[in-house]
Amino acid sequence: MANIKKKHELNVEGQFYCTDPDDDDGEGCIACSVCYMGAPDFFAEDDMGNAYIKKQPTSPEDIELCQEQLEACPVNSIGNDG
């Protein structure tokens, strides 16, 4: 489960978030590119390749797409507060 206390500083406010790569619990982003390749309208990469949320989904279809990225993340670094 993503550590809500270690959110990436570039995330936009909202229900979805990515964790900082320096999360001590081992659930920080590892720059695998799964989320920003799978949902580029919502996820982006910083200068180091680590993911963050650039736009929150609003439609049911977009929320489902972001939820799919959350479930596909190999290190559980995507969270959903919603």
Q: What is the pLDDT of residues 33-68, one digit of tens each?
A: 999 999 999 999 999 999 999 999 999 999 999 999
Number of domains in the chain: 1
Q: How far apart are CA 29 and CA 42, in angstroms?
A: 16
Global pTM? 0.92
Residue 13: give its domain's CATH number: 3.30.70.20
pLDDT at 35: 97
pLDDT over 70, % of the chain:
95
| Predicted pLDDT of residue 25 | 67
- Domain extent, residue 73, equals 4-80
Calculate mean pLDDT across residues 6-27.
87
Using CA atoms, how far apart are residues 4 and 56, in angstroms rounded to an integer? Answer: 16
Asked whether the predicted pLDDT for residue 71 surpasses 80, the reply is yes
The identity of residue 15, as a single letter, is Q
Task: Name the strand (E) or helix (H) holding 67.
Answer: helix 60-72
